[in-house]
Structure 1
Amino acid sequence: MSVATITPAVWIGCLSCYNAGALTGAWFEATTADEIAPQTLHGHQTSHEELWVFDYEHLPIDGECSPHEAAKLARHLDEVDEYLLPVFLAWIGSGSHVLDGEDLPDHGEFIDRYCGHWDSFTQYAHQLAEDICLLADAPEHIIRYFNWSSWADDLEHDYTVLDASERGVYIFRDH
């Protein structure tokens, strides 16, 4: 299975020009957003000093931000294995993510809480029941009447279940 490369990008604009009614800016790779100088945008020396990220791709942010904030987040995303990046972005987008000490999504919590990519939560619940030997010592007449659907529905309250980018769901433990 090939993994599509996700490269965060930002459109950095000159705030002075924007406030004067002109759009002066360009797209850059987000990891280097904090290295862009006003002269780069203008193509010459300028007295304009303040730059701002007005648009972005593949960054889990809402609204605008500084180039420094965008670069910090993009470099943080670079630390995630490429095949897990779409899952990490989905977790952040869900709002159920946990922040680290620098107010960035916590990689360790992500790994600890991620339960995998499944066809459905029900499939995950059945595998979990098998893994924890839920009914291993139960008599057959009890197993026969066990309500798998109700058990899976109750269990799902302790998880975040997100639609996966292609098919199925991503599952995360909530605590």
Structure 2
Amino acid sequence: MKLSENTPRIHVGTYGMYNNGSLYGKWFDLSDYSDAEEFIKDCYEYHRNEFLPELMFQDWENIPDSLISESSLHENAFKYFEAISEMDDDNAEAFQIYCTQIVNWPYNGNDLSETLEGFQESYQGYFGKRNDPKTDFAYQYLEDTGLLSGAPEILERYFDYEAYGRDLFLEGYSEYEGYVFIDQ
């Protein structure tokens, strides 16, 4: 797993300490572990001074809420982290949006490889750098498809890219925070 500012981390304490008024715990960088078993083992080792510690995930960073709760980490979390570690930051963020807002992975029953394949087919790119992602996507779409390539230049100047972009997203495409996906 690559180490970056987006590395998944969890602050792990215990319910016993919390119930006694303490937030004592440690931040664990998940890039240091190959799987959940190794991570959990290290958490118990850290809290070895407590009799039968019940681990409590008090805070986390760069982990989708669908993969973690106060008391558990989803069994596919490390597979997810491995997949996004091979992506650049924009693709990793788009993949997180795809998983959580579009296909509801891991709860949709698909395995990660199917989800990655669907993402690669659906994801069109990030268009949130300027004003309106839908209009920016319309410009790119028209250039890629060549729909106006045979039209006279005077007609191209009067083409309403904003309206065309809006129409594309009525049926066929979705935009989330500047990231554009083909509807499936």
TM-score by length of 1: 0.71
Other-structure match for 2:36: none
Structure 1: state its 5+ residue gaps: 164-168
Q: Give the equivalent residue in structure 2 for 1:166.
A: none
Deviation string 1:51-75 (CA, Å, 9 cap, x unpaired) is 1211101111167333542x74244
Between the two proteins, the alignment pairs up a number of residues equal to 164
Cα 1:12–1:4, aligned 2, differ >3 Å: closer, same or farther? Answer: closer
CA RMSD of aligned residues (A): 3.4
Partner of 1:123: 136
The 5-angstrom pairing of residues 130-169 of structure 1 reads 130-135=143-148, 146-157=159-170, 158-163=172-177, 169=178
- 1:38 aligned to 2:47? no
The residue type equivalent to 2:56 in the other structure is: W
Matched, 1:48 2:52: yes
Would you say the 8 A contact 1:115–1:170 is kept in 2? Answer: yes
Instruction: For 1:144 and 1:7, locate their aligned partners in 2 and report how far apart those are by CA, in whole Å.
Output: 46
Distance 2:51 2:110 in 1: 32
The answer to whether residue 179 in structure 2 is matched with residue 170 in structure 1 is yes
The answer to whether the Cα contact below 8 Å between 1:14 and 1:48 also exists between their aligned partners in 2 is no
- The one-letter code sitting in structure 2 at the alignment partner of 1:65 is E
Residues 1:82 and 1:6: Cα distance change in structure 2 (over 3 Å): farther
Deviations 1:15-58 (A, max 9, x none): 2222333333211023543333434124x3x3223212111011
Within 5 A, what are the aligned runs for 1:37-76? Answer: 37-42=43-48, 44=49, 46-61=50-65, 64-69=69-74, 72-76=76-80
Conserved in 2, the CA contact under 8 Å of 1:53 and 1:66? yes
CA change 1:50–1:72 in 2 (3 A) is farther
| 1:24 aligned residue | 24
**2:16 counterpart SS class:** helix
| Structure 2 gap segments, 5+ residues each | 34-38
Letter in 2 for 1:159: Y
Report the Cα offset of residue 135 of structure 1. 4.3
- Partner letter of residue 153 of structure 1? R
Conserved in 1, the CA contact under 8 Å of 2:99 and 2:105?
Answer: no
Per mean C-alpha deviation after superposition, the further-off stretch among 84-93 and 147-156 is: 84-93
Q: Distance in 1 between matches of 2:87 and 2:154?
A: 47
Compared with structure 1, are the counterparts of its residues 137 and 82 closer, same or farther at alpha carbon in structure 2 (3 Å cutoff)?
closer
Is residue 9–residue 29 contact of structure 2 (8 Å, CA) maintained in 1?
Answer: yes
